[in-house]
Structure 1
Amino acid sequence: MHPLKRTGPLRRIVLASAVTVSGMVLLIALKPHSPPEVTVAAPAPSSSGNAPGGAGGSGSGPGGPSASTSPDGGSATTGTMTVTGDPADTIWGPVQVRITVRNGKITEAAAVQYPKADPLEEQLNVYAVQQLNQQTLAAQSADIDVVSGATYTSQGYQQSLQSALDAVRN
């Protein structure tokens, strides 16, 4: 009879060795994760703040909040206003949010810029941004929860959203 078909200690040793070797190969194959830099992000404009696709707009300059009113000339409390917040720098890349306010209520929220360095990160952030957009509409403020697995993107979203809301109030 073959030694591996027995139920003795040799079989357990061979299986344990195979599992150990497989685990070591997986650990070695993983990319090392660099620790995040500890910085205090201020909602100041950055040099890489312009989002592709015209996030600058008719606002206060490159990277700053930009606003446009509806053709009826309404203000944030009586008409429609679209505002793009400041880009918030995260360790994975900038996050920038655009909101539409109609009659004092947020009717639309969208991230016009968010980290997309690799396919896995992009897939995670697409999900996170959808959740954050929905939370923004429900909360009507920047007081929203972070999305698990996308903490830095969520925090950047909150900062950019707050700068857009501040621009609406001014």
Structure 2
Amino acid sequence: MRRITVWLMSTLAAVVLLFSYRTSLGTAAPAATTAAEGTIADPTTAATGDPSPTGSSGAATSGSTTYTGSVASTRWGDVQVSITVADGKITAVSVPVYPNSNGKDQQINARALPILTRETIAAQSADIDTVSGATITSDGYIESLQAALDAAHLA
């Protein structure tokens, strides 16, 4: 009788713990980060999901074109990258869509996105390292960045 009681209580405890576990399943709200500022801010333009040029960017130099990569779906939320290209070089990078539905996502991406944008401008390609602790977001970033580079014919 004692074994059955111990087994029943441990099973009940396991079920309670299983159902009380919270995950990050929310959708990402639009926001952006810029390499120059290294901070997260509200987007100035709507994300389209279309990897085609969206015209000149007010923050970039004259004669530049902004290309928006496709939305990359990750386990923690969508990621989308926009690049500004002038004279065949990436001059600015923004991330209008990224996982930020909870405090942990915000904390991770506040650190990771500025690193990724700096690395993109330095490398002038999608051949960049993932950020430790933000591997899933980094993979989505690289996927969307490659789509933007393909649209800009910089691949």
Does residue 1:145 correspond to 2:134, yes or no? no
Q: Secondary structure at the match of 2:81?
A: strand
Structure 2 partner of 1:45: none
Structure 1 partner of 2:53: 67
Equivalent residue runs for 1:1-170 within 5 Å: 32=21, 51=30, 53-56=45-48, 63-70=49-56, 79-169=63-153
Which one is further off, 137-146 or 110-119?
Answer: 110-119
**Structure 1 residues 85 and 50: alpha-carbon distance in aligned structure 2, compared to 1, 3 A threshold:** farther
Q: How many residues align?
A: 115
Q: Secondary structure at the match of 1:169?
A: coil
8 Å CA contact 1:85–1:98 kept in 2: the answer is yes
What CA distance in whole angstroms lies between the structure 2 residues aligned with 1:119 and 1:168?
A: 34
Structure with bigger gyration radius: 1
Q: Secondary structure at the match of 1:83?
A: strand
Structure 1 partner of 2:40: none
* Structure 1: runs of 5+ lacking an equivalent: 1-27, 35-47, 57-62, 72-78
What CA distance in whole angstroms lies between the structure 1 residues aligned with 2:131 and 2:96?
A: 18
| Greater relative contact order structure (CA < 8 Å, 6+ sep) | 2
8 Å CA contact 2:81–2:94 kept in 1: the answer is yes
* Structure 2: runs of 5+ lacking an equivalent: 1-16, 32-44, 58-62
C-alpha RMSD of matched pairs (Å): 2.7
Large movers: runs of 4+ above 6 Å: none
**Normalising by structure 2, what TM-score?**
0.66
8 Å CA contact 2:72–2:78 kept in 1: the answer is yes
- Percentage identity across aligned positions? 47
Paired residue type of 2:82: R
